[in-house]
């Protein structure tokens, strides 16, 4: 189903994101004041203005954190994680074990 040339797609949202979306759509439809939305969402009026702007610009996807689904900055490289997994499978093999062990 498409609306005005846009294809519909599924967005994974938390309950908090859905609640925010409802309140902010009320602001866009002028059913709710920005000040009231700020109080309900426990945000500043300025933050509500920013979110409304992003919602108008990017649609519902604009409310989702932009880094969702991307690997974290502190993630270990693939080769290091693979080596750690092999060491966990075979603890007797000292050649596969990492020198650094996480704190217990």
CB 48 within 8 A of CB 27: yes
Model confidence over 40-95: pLDDT tens digits? 999 999 999 999 999 999 888 888 877 677 777 777 677 666 666 666 666 555 55
Determine, yes or no, domain membership for 3: no
Looking at the structure, do residues 57 and 80 belong to the same domain, yes or no?
no
Question: Distance between CA atoms of 41 and 33, rounded to whole angstroms?
Answer: 12
Looking at the structure, do residues 39 and 82 belong to the same domain, yes or no?
no
Determine, yes or no, domain membership for 71: no
What pLDDT, on a 0 to 100 scale, did the predictor assign at position 3? 43
Q: Is the pTM of this model over 0.75?
A: no
Determine, yes or no, domain membership for 22: yes
pLDDT band at 1 (very low <50, low <70, confident <90, very high): very low
**Domain containing residue 16:** 10-63
Looking at the structure, do residues 54 and 81 belong to the same domain, yes or no?
no
What pLDDT, on a 0 to 100 scale, did the predictor assign at position 2? 36
Determine, yes or no, domain membership for 16: yes
Residues 6 or more apart in contact with residue 93 via CB below 8 angstroms: 87
- What percent of the chain stands above pLDDT 90? 38
Looking at the structure, do residues 55 and 86 belong to the same domain, yes or no?
no
């Amino acid at each position: 189903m498409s609306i005005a040339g846009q294809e519909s797609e599924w967005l994974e949202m938390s309950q908090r994101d859905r609640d925010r979306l409802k309140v902010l759509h009320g602001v866009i439809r002028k059913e709710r004041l920005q000040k009231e939305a700020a109080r309900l969402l426990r945000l500043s009026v300025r933050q509500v203005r920013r979110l409304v702007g992003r919602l108008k610009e990017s649609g519902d996807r604009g409310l989702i954190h932009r880094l969702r689904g991307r690997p974290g900055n502190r993630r270990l490289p693939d080769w290091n994680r693979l080596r750690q997994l092999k060491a966990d499978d075979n603890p007797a093999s000292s050649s596969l074990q990492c020198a650094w062990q996480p704190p217990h």
